[in-house]
Chains A and B, each alone.
Chain A
Amino acid sequence: MDLTYTDEEEDFRARLRAWLREVLPKLPDRPAATDWPGRRAYDTAWQRLLYDAGYAGLHWPADAGGRGATPTQHLIFLEETERAGAPYVGANFVGLLHAGPTIAAEGTAGQRARWLPPILRGEEIWCQGFSEPDAGSDLAALRTKAVRDGDAYVVSGSKTWTSHAEVADWCELLVRTDPEAPRRRGISWLAMPMDAPGITVRPLRTLTGTAEFAEVFLDEVRVPVANRIGAEHDGWRVTMVTLSFERGTAFVGEVVACHRVLVALARKARDNGRWDDPVLRRRLGHLAAEFAALWRLTQWNVSEAQHRGGVPGAGGSVFKLRYSHARQELYDAAAEVLGAGSLDADHEWFADRLSALSYTIAAGTSQIQQNIVAERLLGLPKGR
C-alpha cells in the first residue's frame, strides 16, 4: 500500500502542470451549450493541443498511436486537468473512450491506420449507435438490421441516446446481421459515416432543457463491408471488450470536481447561516467521507489495472454504483444549502443537479450494475 507517487510520476505531473499553466489562459471562451458547431470546434481544438503536446491517447497502447502511459500517469492527467480547469473530453468522448479502443483492440492494421490517428488529432468525431427505443438495458434485443448487398451492408432502423450525433463524422454502430442466430451471436460492429444518405438526426431534448442526445433514424443506409470491425456476427464480443473502459477512469475528474463543490457548499452554508443546522452539517460531513473514499477507491482500481497490464477490472461497476448515487446526494445537499434559492434555474449548481439524475441510468442503470456485481463478482446464480 503505497500512496506516494514515484519521482517519475511526480515529474510527469510537474511537466503537465507547467504545460497547463501555459496553454489554458490562451484558450477562447467556451461556446454555449446549444452551439453544437462551436462545441465541436472548441473540443477538437483542445484535442489537437493535447496531441501536439504529446498528451493525446495517453492510455492507448503505443502501437495504436497512443503514449502507452501507465494507468497511474493517466490518473494524474485526469486529476491535474480537472484541477487546472482544463476543457473536458467533450465531443471526443466516444472516439477516445469507446470507438478508438475498440478499433485498437479488434481492427485490422488498415482500419487502425484509417481511424485512429484522426481521433487522436481531434480531426474526427465519433458518436455511439448502440441503444434503441426497444433495446436499452437489454442491449442484445437491438433490431436495427443490416443486409449484405455486394460490398456493402444496407442498414435500416433507429438508434437513440446518441451524444454528439449532430456533429459526428462517424458512428460506432451495432446492427443485427443474422436475425436467425441467438441474440448475441447475430450482431456486427460497423463504422458508419454520418454523411451517408438515409441518415436523419433528430435532437432529443432532455429534462435539462437542452438537447445533449439525439435520435438517429437509418433508412437503407449503405455502409461498406470493409467498415466492419471484427468478424461478421461477432459484434457483441467486440463491444464487450472495451465497454468496461467507460466505468474505469471516466469519472476521475468528476470526483475531484465533486469535492470542490462540497467545499464551496460548506462555505456557502457558513455564509447563509445554514451551517448552524447539525443535520445539514452531518450530511455534508458524510459526503466528505464518501468523496474522499471514492477517490481512494479510484486509486485502488487504477492500481489494480496497473497490475493487470492496463485492463480495467470489474471494480468499475462497484465505483459507478456508489459514485452515481453520491453525486445525486451532493446536489440534493446543495439544494438544501440554497433553500428556495435552489429553484433559480440560472444558479451554477442547477444544471448539475439535473444532469446528476442521468448518472444512475446512463452506461448501465444501477439495477443492471447490481446484477453484474452480484453475478460476476459475487458468483450468484443467473435468473430473474
Chain B
Amino acid sequence: MDFHLTDDQRALRAGVHELLAGRFPRERLRAAVDAYEAADGGPVLDRALWRELADAGFFSLLLPEAEGGAGLGLPEAVLVLEEAGRALLPGPLVAGVLLAGAVDGVAAGERVAGLCDAASAPALWEHPSDCDEVIVVAEHAAYRCAPDGLRTAPVRSVDPLTPLARLLDGPSGAPYAADVPRLRREAVLLTAAQQLGGAVKALEAAVAYAGQREQFGAPIGSFQAVKHLCAQMLVRVELARSAVYAASVTEDPAEVSGAKLLADEAAVRNARDCLQVHGGMGFTWEADVHLLLKRAWLRAESWQSAAAGEEALAAALADGHIAV
C-alpha cells in the first residue's frame, strides 16, 4: 500500500496549477465576473481559454491513448479538477472530462457539452448559453439534447460565473447509451474534487490574510481565535482529501458519497471561515471570498446534496455495504 501520489501524479497536479496560474490568474477571474454581469445571461465562457485547456489535454484525460487521449484514470482526473476548483475556473468542466469520448468536438475544445441532472428538483442546467450539446441525466437513463430543444426558465444564479437555467419539462431527446449509475458516480466524484480545490483555496486565502492583516499591533493570525479557525480549515481539507483521493481509487459508491459529503462541507465551511477571517473585507464584492462561497454552495447542490449523501451512507451502513 502506498496512498501517496506518484511522481507522475505530482507532476500532473503541479503542471495544471502552473497552467491555470498563467492562463486564469486572478485578473482574468475578475474580468470574467465583470463580463458576465455585462452579458446579462448570455454566453460567458472564454472559448479561446477553453481551447487552450483542451490543447493541454484537460478534456481528453480519460480517453484511451488510441483515441487521442492521455489514457489516465479517475485519480488523475480528480487531481486536475482539484486544481480547477482551486483556481475557481468556471465552465462545465465535469461534463467536458466525462463526455469527451461521447460528444464530437469536446475533447478538442471546439464544442462545449453540458451535463444536467434531471433527477434533482428543480433540475438546473449550468451554462445554458454556452453549451453546444447537453446530456440530460434522469434517475436511470440519459438523453442527448440540442440546447434549443429544451424548454427552460431563466434562473439568476447565486454564482456570478455559473449561469443557470431551470428545465421545465422532464427529460426528452434521443437516448444516450451510458452506464448511468457510473456516470452519476463519476460526476459526484469530480464535483467533490472541485470542492476540495475550493476548500484548499479558502484555506490559503485565510492564512495569507491572517498573516498580513494587523490589528492591536499584531498580525491577526497570531491570535488563537483566528489560528483555531484556520487549523480547523486544514483539518477539513485533509479529511476531504483522503476521502476524495481514496474514492477515486476504489470507485466504491458509499465511499464516493462520503467523499462528496466531506468535500462539500470543507468547501462551504472553509469559505465561511475564510470570510470571517477577512472581517469586513470579506463582505465586499471586491474580495474574492464571496466567489469561493457561492461556487461552493452551487457545487454542494450538484449531483448529490448533503441529505442525499447522508441517506445513501445510512443505507449502506444498514446493508453492510460500507467497510473500514
Q: Which residues of A contact B (CB under 8 A)?
A: 1-6, 9, 72, 75, 255-256, 259, 262-263, 266-267, 270, 275, 278, 281-286, 288-297, 299-300, 302-304, 306-307, 315, 318, 321-322, 367, 369-371, 373-375, 377-384
Contacts and interface: CB of A to CB of B under 8 A. Distances in A.
A256 B318 contact: no
A281 B315 CA distance: 9
B1 A9 contact: yes
B207 A380 contact: yes
Given A322-B235, A384-B222, 19 more contacts: A1-B249, A6-B1, A72-B1, A281-B311, A282-B310, A282-B311, A285-B310, A290-B262, A291-B324, A292-B258, A293-B259, A296-B246, A299-B1, A373-B235, A380-B221, A381-B218, A383-B222, A383-B224, A384-B223
Contacts of A266: 314, 317-318
A1 B258 contact: no
A256 B323 CA distance: 9
Contacts of A373: 231, 234-235
Interface in B208-248: 210-211, 218-219, 221-224, 226-228, 230-232, 234-235, 238-243, 245-246, 248
Contacts of A3: 1, 3, 246, 249-250
A296 B3 contact: yes
Interface stretch (B4-12, B37-45, B117-125, B129-137): B4-12
Contacts of B239: 290, 293-294, 297, 318, 322
Interface of B: 1-6, 9, 75, 203, 207, 210-211, 218-219, 221-224, 226-228, 230-232, 234-235, 238-243, 245-246, 248-250, 254-255, 257-259, 261-262, 307, 309-318, 320, 322-324
A264 B242 CA distance: 25
Contact of A367 (B4, B224, B240, B310): B224
> Shortest 3 CB-CB distances between A and B: which pairs?
A383-B222, A289-B258, A285-B310
Given A278-B311, A300-B3, A380-B207, A288 B316 contact: yes
Specify which of B246, B259, B317 lies most central, judged by the most chain A CB atoms within 10 Å of its CB. B317
A255 to B, nearest CB: 6
B207 A379 contact: yes
Contacts of A1: 2-6, 9, 75, 245-246, 248-249
A293 B243 contact: yes
21 contacts: A1-B2, A1-B245, A3-B246, A4-B1, A259-B323, A263-B317, A281-B314, A282-B310, A282-B311, A289-B259, A289-B262, A293-B239, A297-B239, A297-B242, A371-B224, A374-B221, A378-B231, A380-B222, A381-B221, A383-B218, A383-B222
B212 to A, nearest CB: 11
A4 B75 CA distance: 14
B271 to A, nearest CB: 17
A275 B1 contact: no
Contact of B317 (A255, A285, A370, A378): A285
A262 B323 CA distance: 11
Nearest to A256: B324
Contacts of A302: 1, 3
A295 B324 contact: yes
A303 B224 contact: no
A104 B312 CA distance: 48
Contact of A289 (B75, B235, B261): B261
A305 to B, nearest CB: 10
B146 to A, nearest CB: 39
A367 B228 contact: yes
Specify which of B222, B248, B250 lies most central, judged by the most chain A CB atoms within 10 Å of its CB. B222
Contact of A284 (B5, B242, B317): B317
